[in-house]
Every structure is written in structure tokens, then in C-alpha cells.
Amino acid sequence: MELMLEMPDTLSDETERITCQGVVVRSKRNPDEKTGGYGTAIFFTRMSEEDREKLGRFVDHYLASELLAVL
């Protein structure tokens, strides 16, 4: 699969492309979602180290911003 991530540490509006393989381990409809989306959990089975680092930065930023919203 390919993931397109808007990276927080870039100054442009460009996205980072991550190519990986994985298995869907959970998928649940989000009834509160305006677009009717799904919450999906993926176990990544194959990803380059460079893409793993990009995904890690993206997740770290997201978790930090969620934590700040709670405080």
C-alpha cells in the first residue's frame, strides 16, 4: 500500500509517500465522523527504514498535538 502523509516538519505543502505492506487487524466504522470514515488498525509487515522513520515522525507529531489538546 501507499500512504500519503502531510509531514509536520516540512515548510511546503508537499506530502511524503510511504510504500509498505501490511495486514488490516481491525476496522470499525466511525459513526461520529462527518464523512462516514473508518478507524483502521494496520500491522505493517514490510517497510524500508527510511519510510519507518517518516511514519514515526508523523505519529510522534500527531500524538504530541493530541496530548496538548487535552492539557
Instruction: Quote the pTM value.
Output: 0.70
Q: 3-state DSSP call for residue 21?
A: strand
For 13-61, how does the pLDDT look when each residue is reduced to its tens digit (9 = 90+)? 678 899 999 999 999 988 776 777 888 999 999 999 999 998 998 888 8
| Residue 62: per-residue pLDDT | 81
Query: How far is residue 61's CA from residue 70's CA, in Å, rounded to a whole number?
Result: 15
**What is the extent of the structural domain holding 13?**
2-70
Query: Domain count of the chain?
Result: 1
Secondary structure E strands in the chain: 2-6, 15-29, 38-47
